[in-house]
Structure 1
């Protein structure tokens, strides 16, 4: 299981907007505000966990901690669909808490960190996550207006996005190059594979 903990880096960080975006990914354990500046929830798959982590990286608004490991969900609350991480137990919870604390360290701060039993592999995966975090955090609002309309892996979208935004297809293409969108898409499958390996272990 992948437990994610988000801590707001800025007083202006929009907790409710992040929570809404996270819920659209249909987490296994819904995201709840565990402290005034913190959200926590969990996913079964690395693909969803990575997508969620990068939502927190947007504009560098949140520290992101990913804990990989076991997570025991209470049966009754799960059946009712009201389970929260505060009702759960397992190594992934402690790993996520340690990960978000590590995300705040370093010079410059890491921004994001993955933590699990295999510390060496966790550090390697964290290195790749940090690259994507910085790419995501550096994007402008104008770039996000384009990227928010794209569906990864679907060809021929640029013309439709250009029409929706009232800009040229060339402007969309330049935005994708400038924002390193293609590089992100090429990197995600490897990261997801590595994260799934850690979860399986």
Structure 2
């Protein structure tokens, strides 16, 4: 299992953004109770913190990167077993993965971290490797320009890979689409996501 705990940064300064975050995450359509890969959906746990329990490591990667893109949040992932049966609410959950996620999010709050993300796992060496890949991905996303995001979002929303069609949709040249995708390191991101997911899966089991 993968417990993802997210804590808001600077809530006293900017106000509570939890409802905004939950609305953004739920708009994805794949994080509701009963969705494939979701053991317990995102909910506010305490204060300005939210948490969910996922079965699918690829979904954990997707969610983590989506939150890092928003900025202003620290993310801790605990990869490992949970006490079963798992209650409907993650707030009532217990087990090693919950403890690992708690330790991870507390460490992620460190101001020394450029990307506020920490992964702890049942297999800690694999967890560190998963964290390294996710931090690189997070840093890539944080440096992506609005023009880069426009093209990447158009590709991901439509599922269209033909650059001439993407260019037509957003009103730029095909050459501009190609250049923006290269600058955004989109192909590299897509290649690295499954690697992060495999490492997360490995971190959840005892080595």
Residues 194 and 171 (structure 1), Cα distance of their counterparts in 2 relative to 1, 3 Å cut: same
Residues 144 and 12 (structure 1), Cα distance of their counterparts in 2 relative to 1, 3 Å cut: farther
TM-score by length of 1: 0.84
* Uncovered stretches (5+) of structure 1, i.e. residues with no partner: 78-82
Structure 2 residue 99 is the aligned partner of structure 1 residue 88:
no
Q: 1:128 aligns with which of 124, 133, 136?
A: 133
Structure 2 counterpart SS, 1:105: coil
TM-score by length of 2: 0.82
Structure 2 residue 202 is the aligned partner of structure 1 residue 197:
yes
Instruction: Return the alpha-carbon distance in structure 1 between the equivalents of residues 137 and 163 of structure 2.
Output: 22
Instruction: Return the alpha-carbon distance in structure 2 between the equivalents of residues 172 and 9 of structure 1.
Output: 34
What RMSD, in angstroms, separates the aligned Cα atoms of the two structures?
2.4
* Uncovered stretches (5+) of structure 2, i.e. residues with no partner: 32-37
CA contact (8 A) 1:59 1:139 kept: no
Which residue is 1:7 aligned to?
A: 7
Of stretches 38-47 and 123-132 in structure 1, the one that deviates more from structure 2 is 123-132
Which residue is 1:60 aligned to?
A: 71
Residues 35 and 141 (structure 1), Cα distance of their counterparts in 2 relative to 1, 3 Å cut: farther
Instruction: Return the alpha-carbon distance in structure 2 between the equivalents of residues 97 and 63 of structure 1.
Output: 11
Which residue is 1:44 aligned to?
A: 55
Which residue is 1:18 aligned to?
A: 21
CA contact (8 A) 2:115 2:139 kept: no
Per-residue CA distance 1:89-109 (angstroms, 9 max, x = gap): 211111111111111226344
Instruction: Return the alpha-carbon distance in structure 2 between the equivalents of residues 158 and 17 of structure 1.
Output: 33
Cα offset, 1:74, TM superposition:
4.9
Q: 2:161 aligns with which of 152, 156, 163?
A: 156
Cα offset, 1:186, TM superposition:
1.2
Q: 1:101 aligns with which of 103, 106, 111?
A: 106
Instruction: Return the alpha-carbon distance in structure 1 between the equivalents of residues 167 and 16 of structure 2.
Output: 29
Cα offset, 1:138, TM superposition:
1.8
CA contact (8 A) 2:39 2:54 kept: yes
